[in-house]
Amino acid sequence: MSDSPVPDCPLCQQIGGELVLRTDLLRVVLVDEPAYPGYCRVILNRHAREMTDLAPPQIARLMSAVFAVEDAQRAVLAPLKINLASFGNMTPHVHWHVIPRWADDAHFPQPIWGSRQREPDEASLVQRRAHLPQLVDEIRSRLPAAP
């Protein structure tokens, strides 16, 4: 566990996507993944490798943010499913992937890191991307930003 940024940690050195919101504990970003509009990460601002490196109130706040992002995605994008994932094998810095999924996406029913199942329909992707400004507003309305 470290309160100081780790020099070789990408999530200590970079935002990790398009910044949606930052609090004292975490930030929410949109991930630049064209085949998955609305894909977000909830990233701890300080470096920690595991959830259990956090105090229970921090864990509760972080997970509350993950669930707020999930709920905003459901409200705005109406996906078939939301995938939540926290791996950290490649980037051992606490962060959660919050990924809206549709039956016609490139990998469904596989995880997005699995075998590609089909080419996604570009018209559907364009329609889903059109909702991203509304998604950003919805996430911001559900989480208080840092002063």
**Measured distance between the N- and C-terminal CA atoms of the chain, rounded to whole angstroms:** 26
Please say whether the structural domain 10-142 has been given the CATH code 3.30.428.10: yes
Q: pLDDT digit string (tens) for 45-95?
A: 999 999 999 999 999 999 999 999 999 999 999 999 999 999 988 899 999
Domain boundaries, the chain: 10-142
3-class state of residue 114 by DSSP: coil
The model's pTM: 0.94
Give alpha helix (H) positions in the chain: 10-13, 56-77, 122-129, 132-142
Distances in Å between the Cα of 17 and the Cα atoms of 66, 71, 78, 146 are 16, 20, 22, 18
Question: Considering only 1-10, 104-113, 127-136, which range has the smallest mean pLDDT?
Answer: 1-10
